[in-house]
Amino acid sequence: MIGRLNHVAIAVRDIAAASQLYRGTLGATVSDPEALPEHGVTVVFITLPNTKIELLEPLGADSPIAKFLEKNPDGGMHHLCYEVDDIHAARDRLVKSGARVLGSGEPKIGAHGKPVLFLHPKDFNGTLIELEQA
């Protein structure tokens, strides 16, 4: 069912400093920051030859990554995003197997403009998993 690893998301406190670290120290291709107020984050994309790393900085009072950064003051890996062909078929398969889909259980439009779901980390070895219909 799961296809490509679309991205690894890393939560950071200071996206400018983190961008400079990836651009300068690690020599990667790093985009300019993009504010996504409807998702509560500012995002930067690091393009690797085979996948992407996304840096996320909290934006606004209700950022979904604020609590994560309280628990992990240095930042850290926040979620993995796997691509699926059909998000509704994926959801039905997951629910049937007993896995918990976060929120209403209905796909939402994610930061890339595509339908996404998030799965409960307790059901997946402590890893927050995003599924994106590619």
Span of 4-12, 36-44, 58-66, 106-114 interacting with a copy of itself by CB under 8 A? 4-12
Do residues 7 and 54 lie in contact, with contact meaning Cβ atoms separated by under 8 Å?
A: yes
**Cα-based distances in Å from 3 to 7, 51, 63, 112:** 12, 12, 28, 17
Q: Is 94 in the site for a copy of itself (CB under 8 A)?
A: yes
Q: Is 70 in the site for a copy of itself (CB under 8 A)?
A: no
Q: Is 88 in the site for a copy of itself (CB under 8 A)?
A: no
Q: Is 99 in the site for a copy of itself (CB under 8 A)?
A: yes
Classify 30 as helix, strand or coil: strand
Name the residue nearer to a copy of itself (CB basis): 57 or 111: 57
Identified binder of a copy of itself from the candidate list 93, 105, 106, 109, rule CB under 8 A: 93
CA torsion through residues 123, 62, 134, 8, sign = negative
Q: Which residues are catalytic?
A: 130
